[in-house]
């Protein structure tokens, strides 16, 4: 009798296990039908495919993956599972139409350097408010008034380079973009403030991409100290503006005069973080673009002559530079403008950007799990022959309005 009961118990256990397995398999298949992970490889445990991406040109790595798996694929780099997106529609999905499903993500070491209140470390209301303030300070109406000052900075930069010596183009462009950035943020700032800002910003810039060690004497530690001094300098400028009751329409003025729906103003720390964040976001990318523009002009003599001819006409119309450049004239530089657009496409200064999924997201039948990094691959898009014929060729005419 005991053996019969024992056999029945074993049989029931086996049957229940079999039914559970069938049900679980069915549920898993149904879930996979709804949304599955994109194709791709996650590489080795823990390190993923980090070694592969650092042992070759990252652009070649991503291009090879795209060719094999398509416009959406998964990988594992820098300790994070990632979904890569290589189409304009996908980039728009992540950065615009469904941006609320994704948040910007940066290493904590970078956040400490720039400041935790900078707009690109946030989402939703605060991010939208700060973004609107930054955009309003750089509106066409505001930029129109800055054109003569920007031209003066450009002429000064060119004259300083015309000394018959070999120069580092990127470094010179960084100086130029810094001065234009200061003008956009603070307006016509006192020279003493400008010099103090520049000295400390250079220290911060040098430590930004260094190993994040807070040991005294390291580049990162020096950068943190310089970052504190930058906040103090910004506080002094704010104090002076308040004392003089200056109502400027530059970025600092927009931040100072802003109030939320409850009438609250931004704190000085929030203002400093966003000013330094904008300066960081603008300087290196602008300097890089300008450097690549000069390279492509040098490498394409016919295009260089076309751009020079257009600029010469503008110069002559302004009495050989006796009159300042105008907004209308910059809008009529069609040849120059197309060359700038093509240089930006070719160089693709920002190859990709990091976002993180704040919830499970489905895109084109694929699952992007919560917590995974999402990377729109701008360079892959810009160098895809489906969107740009002969993508490796410098051809500004592709931007002609037809």
Is 394 within a domain? Answer: no
Is 173 within a domain? Answer: yes
Is 328 within a domain? Answer: no
Residue 124 half-sphere exposure toward CB, CA atoms < 13 A: 3
Q: Note down pLDDT in tens along the chain; length 402 residues.
A: 545 545 544 554 455 555 544 544 444 444 444 558 988 888 788 778 877 777 777 778 888 888 888 889 998 887 788 899 988 999 999 988 898 888 877 777 778 888 888 877 777 777 788 888 888 888 888 888 889 999 999 988 888 877 778 888 998 999 899 999 888 888 888 888 888 998 898 898 888 777 777 888 888 899 999 999 999 998 888 888 887 776 677 888 888 887 877 778 888 888 888 888 888 887 888 999 999 999 999 999 999 999 999 999 999 998 887 888 889 898 889 999 999 999 999 998 888 888 889 899 998 889 999 999 898 989 888 988 888 889 889 999 998 875
Domain count, the chain: 1
Distance between CA atoms of residues 225 and 38, nearest Å: 44
Is 291 within a domain? Answer: yes
Is 352 within a domain? Answer: no
CA dihedral 98, 280, 209, 356 (to 10 degrees): -10
* Whether 176 contacts 293, CB under 8 Å: no
DSSP-derived 3-state class of residue 143: helix
Check which CATH number belongs to the domain holding 124 and give it: 1.10.630.10
Is 23 within a domain? Answer: no
Is 281 within a domain? Answer: yes
| Cα–Cα nearest to 75, from 34, 103, 44 | 44
Is 239 within a domain? Answer: yes
- Which helix (H) or strand (E) segment holds residue 363: the answer is strand 361-363
| Cα–Cα nearest to 361, from 152, 168, 72, 16 | 72
Whole-model pTM: value is: 0.78
* Whether 43 contacts 49, CB under 8 Å: yes
Distance between CA atoms of residues 279 and 79, nearest Å: 29
Q: Which domain holds residue 276?
A: 111-299
Distance between CA atoms of residues 126 and 128, nearest Å: 6
Token couple for 115: 């400041």
């Amino acid at each position: 009798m005991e053996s019969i009961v024992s056999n029945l118990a074993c049989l029931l256990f086996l049957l229940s296990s079999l039914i559970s397995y069938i049900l679980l398999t069915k549920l898993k298949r149904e879930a996979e039908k709804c949304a599955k992970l994109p194709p791709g490889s996650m590489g080795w445990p823990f390190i993923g495919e980090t070694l592969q991406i650092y042992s070759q040109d990252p652009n070649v790595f991503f291009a090879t993956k795209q060719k094999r798996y398509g416009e959406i694929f998964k990988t594992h780099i820098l300790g994070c599972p990632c979904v890569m997106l290589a189409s304009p529609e996908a980039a728009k999905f992540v950065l615009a139409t469904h941006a609320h499903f994704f948040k910007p993500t940066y290493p904590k070491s970078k956040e400490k350097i720039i400041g935790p209140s900078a707009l690109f470390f946030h989402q939703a209301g605060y991010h939208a408010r700060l973004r609107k303030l930054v955009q309003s300070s750089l509106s066409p109406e505001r930029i129109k008034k800055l054109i003569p000052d920007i031209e003066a900075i450009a002429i000064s930069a060119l004259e300083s380079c015309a000394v018959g010596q070999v120069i580092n183009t990127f470094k010179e462009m960084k100086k130029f973009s810094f001065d234009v950035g200061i003008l956009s943020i603070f307006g016509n700032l006192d020279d003493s403030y400008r010099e103090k800002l520049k000295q400390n910003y250079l220290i911060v810039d040098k430590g930004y991409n260094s190993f994040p060690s807070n040991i005294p004497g390291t580049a990162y530690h020096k950068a943190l100290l310089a970052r504190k001094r930058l906040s103090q300098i910004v506080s002094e400028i704010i104090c002076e503006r308040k004392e003089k009751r200056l109502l400027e329409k530059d970025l600092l003025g927009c931040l100072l005069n802003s109030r939320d729906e409850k009438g609250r103003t931004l704190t000085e720390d929030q203002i400093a973080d966003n000013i330094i964040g904008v300066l960081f976001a603008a300087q290196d990318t602008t300097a890089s673009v300008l450097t690549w523009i000069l390279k492509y002009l040098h490498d394409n003599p016919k295009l260089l002559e076309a751009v020079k001819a257009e600029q010469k006409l503008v110069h002559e119309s302004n009495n050989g530079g006796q009159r300042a450049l105008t907004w209308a004239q910059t809008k009529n530089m069609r040849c120059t403008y197309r060359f700038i657009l093509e240089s930006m496409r070719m160089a693709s200064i920002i190859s990709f950007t990091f976002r993180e999924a704040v919830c499970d997201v489905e895109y084109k039948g694929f699952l992007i799990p919560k917590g995974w990094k999402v990377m729109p691959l701008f360079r892959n898009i810009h160098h895809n022959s489906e969107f740009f014929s002969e993508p490796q060729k410098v051809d500004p005419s592709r931007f002609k309005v037809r």
